[in-house]
């Protein structure tokens, strides 16, 4: 991200946000009964680089803070995920939401054909 530099502000990141990023973007599968703090060793053991995830989320949250806001949502690219920041802390990563289908497709109504379309020569 070209707008993130070494001097850009960085948000703090909760374990919950790291867990949700791993689940929703990296595809980690965790039992919901495991709390966030106990999930960290499980994610490490599964091979996820939690320091890199935490740094990425801190940078994304910092973009919001650089704009002068400490609370709000920001979309992370290329992940296309919404990151929620509260008081300068990344608190969660929301699941990607795709547009719902517009509804069942309907057939195009028949229209009258012209002589040219029917292939009739005069």
- Distance in angstroms (rounded) separating the CA atoms of residues 35 and 15: 10
pTM above 0.75?
Answer: no
Q: Closest by alpha carbon to 32, among 89, 50, 23?
A: 23
pLDDT of residue 50: 96
Task: Provide the terminal-to-terminal Cα distance of the chain, rounded to the nearest Å.
Answer: 65
Q: Is 10 helix (H, G, I), strand (E, B) or coil?
A: coil
pLDDT of residue 48: 95
| Tens of each residue's pLDDT in the chain, 122 residues | 446 666 778 899 999 999 999 999 999 999 989 999 999 999 999 999 999 999 999 999 998 888 888 999 988 888 888 999 999 999 999 977 666 666 666 677 777 777 666 666 65
pLDDT of residue 8: 79
């Amino acid at each position: 991200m070209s707008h993130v530099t070494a001097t850009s502000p960085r948000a703090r990141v909760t374990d919950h946000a790291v867990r949700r990023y791993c689940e929703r973007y990296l595809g980690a599968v965790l039992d919901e009964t495991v709390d966030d703090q106990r999930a960290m060793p499980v994610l490490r053991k599964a091979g996820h680089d939690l320091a890199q995830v935490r740094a990425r989320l801190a940078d994304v949250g910092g973009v919001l803070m650089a704009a002068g806001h400490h609370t709000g949502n920001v979309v992370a690219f290329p992940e296309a995920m919404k990151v929620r920041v509260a008081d300068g802390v990344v608190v969660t990563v929301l699941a990607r939401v795709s547009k719902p289908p517009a509804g069942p497709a309907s057939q195009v109504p028949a229209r009258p054909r012209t002589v040219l379309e029917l292939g009739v020569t005069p």
